[in-house]
Amino acid sequence: MTKIKRSGTSVEAVIAAFRKEYQVQDWELSYEVVKKPRAGFLGLFASKTAVVSFDLPEVENRVKLFLQLLLQKMGVNFEKIDARREGKIVYLDIAGVSEPGFLIGKNGSMLDTLQYFINRVFDSDRRLSIIYLDSEGYREKKDQYFLRRFTSRIQETRESGKPLTLDPMHSSQRRVIHQYVKRQKGLRTLTVGDGDKKRIIVFPTKLSEQEVLDQTGTKKIKFSGKAPRKAAPQNKQFTGKKDYSPRKDKDKSGYRKPKYYPNRRPPKRGDHGRRTED
């Protein structure tokens, strides 16, 4: 929580300017008027400045407050929300829900929807990259259950030394596997494929990326980090000399090659090179 003091001609103007600057919505606005502009008596004791002190909560608390209000309006009873921030990622956990079936939904669909919605609301905030929503460890349990299907196969790659290619998966499922393999010593992951056919390859660190791609016969499309940037074009230096190199669109005799139009009918006698309507 940080306090910010602002001054202006009127209290309303100060509040409006502050809300615009920090994108503060009306439900999270909290302020204290330090000094009001006074009309004074016959111009005496008049002051034209208003000073307002605002409370600006931390990002995770803003997200938490929003979720609290949203759940209240949805009629969901809960005990508390835990908010945790790691860098640009915020983890929220809703605890003590009276109707967990309603909040989680079929296969976690309601939780997914709420998470998507909250992420859209805080899209414009550059301090956040993504918000993860969970209720009493439901997501975590689900992820663990999902991971259990792959752990033995992943561990086998360490002994066999052969890369293991998994089936195409959804991004959130791939994330679970990436994070698991990251914790394993001597193993690495690589993402291959494009669109909704992205696959994970798990391989021992002994192998290089190129070796893995050759062995599996796949092409790496997704970059693990930042995509390599193209070199900026070098500016042509002006030398003061005229360019006498032959024009590319003309052949040696100076005849300009006609453009190739695949659907154009061949010229007839009497056309004189002009195209006529027929």
Partner 1 sequence: MKELIEFMVKALVDDPTAVDISEVAGDRFTIYQCRVAKEDIGKVIGKRGRTATAIRTIINAVSTKQGKRAELEIIE
Asked if 53 and 32 touch (Cβ cutoff 8 Å), the reply is yes
Shortest spacing between CB 178 and partner 1, in angstroms: 24
If binding means CB under 8 A, how many residues of this protein chain bind partner 1?
19
Looking at the Cβ atoms of 71 and 181, the one nearer to partner 1 is: 71
- Interaction with partner 1 in 152-211: which residues (CB under 8 A)? none
Give, to the nearest 10 degrees, the angle between helix 171-183 and helix 138-160: 60
Per CB under 8 A, does 73 bind partner 1? yes
Per CB under 8 A, does 130 bind partner 1? no
From CA 63, how far away is CA 91, in angstroms rounded? 10
Draw the binding track, 7-46, toward partner 1 (x: CB under 8 A; -: no contact): ------------------xxx-------------------
Helix (H) or strand (E) holding 3: strand 2-8
Per CB under 8 A, does 105 bind partner 1? yes
Per CB under 8 A, does 151 bind partner 1? no
Q: 91-120 in b/e burial notation, b at 16+ Cβ within 10 A?
A: bbbbeebeeeeebbeeebebbeebbeebbe
Per CB under 8 A, does 113 bind partner 1? yes
**DSSP letter at 44?**
B
From CA 119, how far away is CA 92, in angstroms rounded? 12
Looking at the Cβ atoms of 122 and 150, the one nearer to partner 1 is: 122
Residues of this chain that bind partner 1 (CB under 8 A): 25-27, 66, 69-70, 73-75, 102, 105, 109-110, 113-114, 116-117, 120-121
